[in-house]
């Protein structure tokens, strides 16, 4: 075991989203729903569309090269330092062969690096991050680092209520001792697991099934359970509340799994109410002014992390970490030394509320994330093009799909399937 004082957490972060996007005003017109419902009711204005030459492997590898290339003052991460690779996804490309082993090859990781894929709906990224952190805390990593990648293509049937909440993207995180970005409060987290059928994808289907309204209730119930457990641990191990203080006063920002940005508002509204009701002197005031109190708190603590999710849509396992990258890219300067709350929800369900402190110098590294620039260079697709990608991008794409365009930033792309074997290449 490492001594309790060694900090462990997210050292580097790399984000990748496909270079195609569908404006949701166009989708609204095509489906004859008011644009306001998608733009304000769900809170999303574009959704990323994965072209046929991208899948969960290329998204993951393209995010990972960016994480390894992040240099800061200490230089890039040497692939030889990575002793553990975990890819979290619910968009697997094979029932047996994991996404991780393709990524392992594309990145040139060492043969001695353990590699595997992990699944628990959108919670998989957090399960991987916790496993990697605890692997380092246990001491068996012996100075090596872990690479955790969350990669997904969110797909619902066309014309379904879930259709405007699709998206695609990946976030890769190097997890290490003395992390450059976020030191996790190891062990001080709250977990809530319960077997529910809110969102699932049977083995023979490429698109998710969802009980939409029920899934919102399951998410909020899991948030309440996980936050209650986090509160117990945080107050015992991390935070001493001053006179009249609340636990959320000690969290400079709170990030949520964001299937659509309006969900983050619903979650934060519930969490703030929970927190205020823990104090008799505050509960009465919340009853009178709760909406305004929650809105102010949301504007300060949540909204700054949502600009990328509004432009990308749901990225399932990567969603919470897309919010983290977005927050750090634009706000790391003011957050150094401050604690962030993080809520991860995976349907089915398992959820976790945890926290971490933004590392000194994180503002220099965060400038390299390049998420805004990546979103700016995207090309809009028409509804017809989106529908073609949606129908073509299947698990068995034979013959080989089209090649990426000349300006493809990738660099990795899917070449097609031959004799039931998938092939990938570097542009």
The helix, strand and coil proportions of the chain, stated in percent and rounded to the nearest 5, come to 40, 25, 35
Instruction: Give the Cα separation of 181 and 174 in Å (integer).
Output: 10
The CA-based diameter of the chain, rounded to the nearest angstrom, is 68
Site residues for ligand CAA, 332-351, by CB under 6 A, read 345, 347
Binding of residue 165 to ligand CAA (CB under 6 A): yes
Q: How far is the CB of 255 from ligand CAA (least distance, A)?
A: 14
Q: Which of 40, 97, 205, 285 binds ligand CAA (CB under 6 A)?
A: 40
Q: Which is nearer to ligand CAA, 180 or 261 (CB)?
A: 261
Q: Which member of 257, 268, 389, 390 is catalytic? A: 257
Q: Which is nearer to ligand CAA, 251 or 350 (CB)?
A: 350
Catalytic-residue membership of 122? yes
Q: Which is nearer to ligand CAA, 216 or 400 (CB)?
A: 216
Site residues for ligand CAA, 382-401, by CB under 6 A, read none
Report the C-alpha dihedral over residues 164, 254, 272, 39, rounded to 10 degrees. Answer: -20
Residue listed under structure tokens 């013959």? 399
Torsion sign across C-alpha atoms 232, 234, 237, 240: negative
User: With CB under 6 A as the contact rule, which of the stretches 168-176, 230-238, 258-266, 412-420 interacts with ligand CAA?
Assistant: 258-266
Distant-in-sequence, close-in-space partners of 308: CB < 8 Å, separation ≥ 6: 15, 322, 323, 325, 326, 371, 375
Q: Are 16 and 374 in contact (CB under 8 A)?
A: yes
User: With CB under 6 A as the contact rule, which of the stretches 62-70, 74-82, 255-263, 390-398 interacts with ligand CAA?
Assistant: 255-263
Task: Fill in the per-residue mask, 294 to 333: x = in contact with ligand CAA (CB under 6 A), - = not in contact.
Answer: --------------------x-x-----------------
Q: Which of 139, 212, 337, 405 binds ligand CAA (CB under 6 A)?
A: 212
Catalytic-residue membership of 90? yes
End-to-end CA distance of the chain: 43
Torsion sign across C-alpha atoms 155, 158, 162, 168: positive
SS3 letters for 139-178?
A: CCCCCCEEEEEEEEEECCCCCCCCHHHCEEEEEEEEEEEC
Binding of residue 373 to ligand CAA (CB under 6 A): no
Binding of residue 213 to ligand CAA (CB under 6 A): yes
Instruction: Give the Cα separation of 64 and 147 in Å (integer).
Output: 8
- Binding residues for ligand CAA, rule: CB under 6 A, are 34, 36-37, 40-42, 122, 161-162, 165, 198-199, 210, 212-213, 215-216, 219, 257, 259-260, 262-263, 314, 316, 345, 347
Q: Which residues are catalytic?
A: 90, 122, 257
């Amino acid at each position: 075991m490492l001594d309790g004082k060694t900090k462990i957490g997210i050292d580097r972060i790399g984000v990748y989203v496909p270079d195609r996007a569908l404006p949701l005003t166009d989708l609204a017109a095509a489906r004859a729903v008011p644009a306001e419902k998608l733009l304000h009711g769900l809170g999303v204005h574009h959704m990323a569309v994965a072209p046929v030459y991208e899948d969960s492997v290329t998204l993951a590898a393209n995010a990972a090269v960016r994480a390894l290339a992040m240099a800061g003052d200490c230089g890039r991460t040497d692939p030889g330092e990575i002793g553990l690779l975990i890819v979290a996804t619910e968009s697997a490309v094979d029932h047996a062969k994991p996404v991780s082993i393709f990524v392992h090859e594309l990145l040139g990781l060492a043969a001695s690096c353990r590699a595997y894929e992990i699944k628990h709906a959108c919670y998989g990224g957090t399960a991987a991050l916790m496993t990697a952190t605890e692997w380092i805390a246990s001491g068996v990593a012996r100075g090596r680092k872990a690479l955790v990648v969350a990669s997904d293509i969110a797909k619902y049937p066309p014309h379904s209520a879930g259709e405007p909440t699709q998206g695609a993207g990946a976030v890769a995180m190097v997890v290490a001792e003395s992390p450059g970005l976020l030191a996790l409060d190891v062990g001080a987290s709250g977990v809530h697991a319960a077997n529910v059928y809110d969102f699932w994808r049977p083995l023979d289907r490429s698109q998710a099934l969802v009980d939409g309204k029920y899934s919102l209730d399951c998410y909020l119930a899991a948030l309440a359970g996980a936050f209650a457990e986090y509160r117990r641990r945080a107050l015992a191990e991390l935070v001493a509340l001053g006179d009249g203080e609340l636990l959320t006063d000690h969290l400079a920002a709170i990030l949520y799994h964001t299937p659509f940005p309006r969900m983050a508002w619903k979650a934060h509204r519930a969490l703030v109410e929970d927190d205020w009701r823990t104090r008799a002197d505050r509960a009465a005031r919340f009853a009178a002014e709760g909406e305004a109190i929650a809105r102010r708190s949301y504007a300060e603590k949540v909204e700054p992390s949502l600009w990328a999710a509004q432009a990308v849509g749901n990225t399932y396992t990567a969603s919470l970490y897309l919010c983290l990258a977005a927050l750090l890219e634009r706000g790391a300067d003011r957050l150094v030394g401050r604690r962030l709350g993080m809520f991860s929800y995976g349907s089915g369900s398992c959820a976790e509320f945890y926290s971490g402190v933004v590392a000194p110098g994180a503002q220099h590294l965060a400038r390299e994330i390049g998420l805004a620039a990546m979103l700016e260079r995207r090309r809009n697709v028409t509804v017809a093009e989106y529908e073609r990608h949606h129908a073509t991008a299947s698990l068995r794409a034979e013959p080989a799909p089209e090649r990426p365009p000349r300006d493809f930033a990738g660099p990795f792309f899917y070449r097609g399937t031959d004799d039931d074997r998938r092939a990938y290449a570097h542009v």
